[in-house]
Structure 1
Amino acid sequence: MKKILQGNEAIGLGAIKAGLKFYSGYPITPSSEIMHYLANQDIEFVQTEDELAAVNMAIGASLGGMKSMTSTSGPGFSLMQESIGFAHKIEVPLVIVNVQRVGPSTGMPTMPSQGDISQARYGSHGDYFPIVFYPNSVEECFKYTIEAFNASEESLSPIILLSDAFLSHLYETVDIESINFKIKQRHLKPLGDEKRHFTGLLSKGGIPQTRNSDLYKKWIQKMKEKIEKTSKNYEFFEYIENKDSDTLLIAFGITSRIISPLKENYSIFRPIRLFPILEEKLKEVAEKHKKIVVIEMNEGQYKNEIERVLERKINLIKQTGGSLSLRQIKRELDDI
């Protein structure tokens, strides 16, 4: 049955379908509707005093055996970074939703941005390898919330689901029953079964090994290989080829919706899994085009990633300050 859903509501509904049992969060624009929706569901729900408490409660609940999630926006996402690194270190599955708004700091709370792309990948200290999804429709908000939970259970790591103020507040008609998805069940035994000690220190068998470089090298390689293996099951993207064009546009999230009319004149590649970057597919697609243009709502965060992977010049069209203009994008494309 078709129903009108808001993007944030679809995220909440997707979480419930995926088996969410615990949610903790602190209200913040433009993500608060996720909290509002989940507060009325049959789950354990905690409105915390801040985002530090929210993410750590979600980690604890997941260790206790419950599928867990928290949601926030830029300032709260910043506060969560140390705990995100901790969750990677102790290999705990959970989902963290970041509905982006214009920053830095308090910025423009009601206006959309894609300014947290680099933070989603590199926000915590040290080396780690997050999986990051970014849908572009209300239906996809539902679908990729489920996939985020699936990826978290498979990788035993926190998964970042990105959205933005426009996408999360967008209303669209969605036929939930027609969406195909599978649910990965929880297999990780809860805290108290076999293992009771979880530490952010490098350790072996629960014993700290903080000066053992060889152990660290083995551990980080194992973590990297685990994420690489899991990521192969979540290679989500959309590629619209225009054989008459020598220019490839790369966009994601709400920006990809705005530029969709340009498919008549350009090829378009939309990564849904932003990280790890879809290197093989990007290289395959890029070889067909003389020019590549990344269109994003920041100063070139993903453009820099694409440039690093492809080792060639990438053009940037930036949409900042919370505004998106197809007319401006067309003018800038004409000048490239």
Structure 2
Amino acid sequence: MEKLSTQYIRAQVLFWSAYLILNLLFMRLWGAHLTPFLIGMFFGLSVVLGLISHGFRYLYKTYAKNRSLLNISLHLIWLIPVAALLAQIIVSGSMFLMAEFTPKIMSGAQPVSTGGLLGFTINYCILIGLWCTIYLLRAEFQKRRNSEIAHWQLQAQLKENELQFLRSQINSHFLFNAINNLRAMVREDAERTRTGLTDLSILLRGLLQNDGQQLVTLRDELEWVRGYLALEALQFEDRLQFTINVDETLLTAKLPPMILQTLVENAIKHGIAARRAGGALQIDIARVNDESWQIKVQNPPAEFQTSHQGNKIGVRNARERLQLAFGEKAYLDLVIGTDIVTAKVEMPL
């Protein structure tokens, strides 16, 4: 059985208590003497109507919660008069029994005419209808609010699932490249390969510890990138030089995981690796203003323009993850010039 909320109980007591007080006030204004019998009669009436309204709530919760508002209203058209008639029967029956068994209490009471009974019944219809209207409006508002909350929770879950998929895609891509680089070195230099495996294990441990997080700190991202560059340096040797300039106040800034690593990997794969002499990679991380900051990765272009084509999975993946995390507040630009290639990401603080 559903537990009644404190808010519902309070609303019921306030509504029918107000009805009782108004009845007694009007009777007093009309010159009637408020005898214990009269007060008791109106109190009993308020209790009866309160129980009937509670019955309507039970019907709504049991049979009509998932029905349309129009369907519920059509049923109320006949249910409310039946309920009002029931209330009138209970009140009239109670007065008849009191007249039979306690005639002294009823000695001053006047018989109610047929018109009076009809007027009371119409009055009950209005009261029960008013209560049903208030309750339905509140219930429908709550239903719509719950539906909206459920909708946005579902959207958030879908967003989280999409982020997880994109992240697993980029992580597997990175792992595949790192293992291939180490495999290429294993016969040439076993010592360097062991060093590379150590760097890779440290890097993977950090990634696993942060698995499932939508955002990570720049400090963690830089640690992964330095590990990745150490692995790449084993393969490229003197063909790869890199510089990292960071505003230290941004180390706690948040960004989607592997964003910087994706840009660095793209710069090496499509720029430095496509040059016989290699080249220098520069990473600059600074504030744009009080509300945003940026990451800029620059590298020399490939010797042949076709080397820049690729399938662009990494950049597209990074753009999608930025949009999922920050919406229109973040963007990624990739400019391929004749002398330098610049990838720039701007994100909100």
- Provide the TM-score with structure 1 as the length reference: 0.24
Pick 1 or 2: higher relative contact order, CA cutoff 8 A, min separation 6. 1
- Provide the TM-score with structure 2 as the length reference: 0.24
- Higher strand fraction: Structure 1 or Structure 2? 1
Computing the radius of gyration over CA atoms, which structure comes out larger, 1 or 2?
Answer: 2
- Higher helix fraction: Structure 1 or Structure 2? 2
